[in-house]
Amino acid sequence: MLDVRRLRVLAEFAAQGTVAATAEVLHLTGPAVSQQLAALEREAGLQILEKRGRTLHLTAAGQRLVDHARIVLGSLAAAESDLAALRGGGHGTVRIAAFASAARTLVAGLWPAPGTAPDPRDPVLHLTEHEPPAAEAALLQRQADLAITHSYSLLPRPLPPGCERRALFDEPVHLVMHPADAARHHLFPGDPADLRDFADALWLLPDTRTACHEMTQRACGAAGFAPKAAAVAGDFAVLSALASRGAGVALIPHMALPPHRPDLSVHPLRVPVHRSIHALYRSGTAQDPAIRNVLDRLPTSSG
């Protein structure tokens, strides 16, 4: 019979990619991880790992076993969550990894308002700001319990292995500029904008390491041009401030827009682009009372 604890080690190895990283996540030594994997291989009666050069890789049989392990471990996590729910839980700590605008507008609202007593059923919250790839990594490495991530209609993100996802909402991406720039393009506030009309504009681009940057590149590419960068910044607040000074135009998701800025002209796109917001969690954990509490309180619109 296969040992569930060894299956957990194998699934973690598949997620982490190395024995050292697996050992760190599971708080074991490297030799202990290697021994558990070797014992699992004997139990399976098949070679599940092979060396390629100096690194260890899953064989086809090993990958099949990982797929089964994730189902088994997800079912166990679901059983533990159901039992916790039956015991009337609701306390504990939930660690959330979220990108900046979601942390500011969605997650911050989970804390009670100043002067309001917290609900005794609510868990303690811990927030870390992460872009989606880092948030997913934190979830897989068990450094987070929930990851709030996004994907663009032009740039979908696959669901990480061993995870489940709850869709929260979709939000539009807007073209943002100074009102004088909008007037030069004969745009009134709220008028749809055609990106083809901005092929010669200066562009304010998100950080090159982010999906937001790739979204802007693809949207402009679909309109037939490559954007000419006047500035690159990792914070949409910076891009908004630059647009308010007439430094260029930017594509900004609705949730990341600054509130009540008369020095900005905001326009929907004639060819729409949207950003989907998701809550990710490890398979089987959604029924944990503390995690379910947070999932049920997350907003289902950008406001």
Contact in structure between 250 and 240 (CB atoms under 8 Å): yes
Read off the pTM: 0.77
Q: What angle do CA 81, 128, 207 make, to 5 degrees?
A: 130
Contact in structure between 246 and 221 (CB atoms under 8 Å): no
- Using one digit for the tens of pLDDT, what is the confidence trace for 269-301? 999 999 999 999 998 888 888 899 999 999 988
* CA gap 247, 230 in Å, rounded: 7
* CA gap 29, 46 in Å, rounded: 24
So what's the pLDDT on residue 82? 66
- Using one digit for the tens of pLDDT, what is the confidence trace for 131-187? 999 999 899 888 899 999 999 999 999 998 889 999 999 999 999 999 999 999 999
E-strand ranges in 39-189 read 49-52, 55-58, 93-98, 124-129, 146-152, 163-177
Q: What angle do CA 230, 234, 236 make, to 5 degrees?
A: 80
Dihedrals φ, ψ of 205, to 5°? Answer: -110, 145
So what's the pLDDT on residue 248? 97
Query: Looking at residues 193-198, what average pLDDT do you find?
Result: 97
Helix axes 60-86, 289-297, angle to 10 degrees: 90
So what's the pLDDT on residue 285? 86
State the pLDDT confidence band at 227, using cuts at 50, 70 and 90: very high
Percent of the chain with pLDDT over 90: 55
H or E segment and range at residue 66: helix 60-86
> Bridge-partner residues for 279, per DSSP?
148, 166
Least confident of 96-110, 241-255, 289-303: 289-303
Least confident of 2-16, 68-82, 217-231, 280-294: 68-82
So what's the pLDDT on residue 90? 52
* CA gap 97, 144 in Å, rounded: 6
Q: Which two tokens stand for residue 129?
A: 């700001």
* CA gap 168, 164 in Å, rounded: 13
Sign of CA dihedral 16, 21, 23, 25: negative
Residues 6+ apart with CB under 8 A from 237: 256, 258
pLDDT at 303 over 80: no
So what's the pLDDT on residue 256? 94
Q: How far is CA 113 from CA 40, 126, 128, in A?
A: 51, 16, 20
So what's the pLDDT on residue 75? 77
So what's the pLDDT on residue 187? 95
So what's the pLDDT on residue 52? 86
So what's the pLDDT on residue 88? 62
Residue type, 230: A
Contact in structure between 178 and 245 (CB atoms under 8 Å): yes
Query: Looking at residues 182-207, what average pLDDT do you find?
Result: 96
* More confident position, 74 or 285: 285
So what's the pLDDT on residue 85? 62
Mean confidence (pLDDT) of the chain: 90
Residue 167 burial (10 A CB sphere; 0-12, 13-18, 19+): exposed
* CA gap 99, 93 in Å, rounded: 20
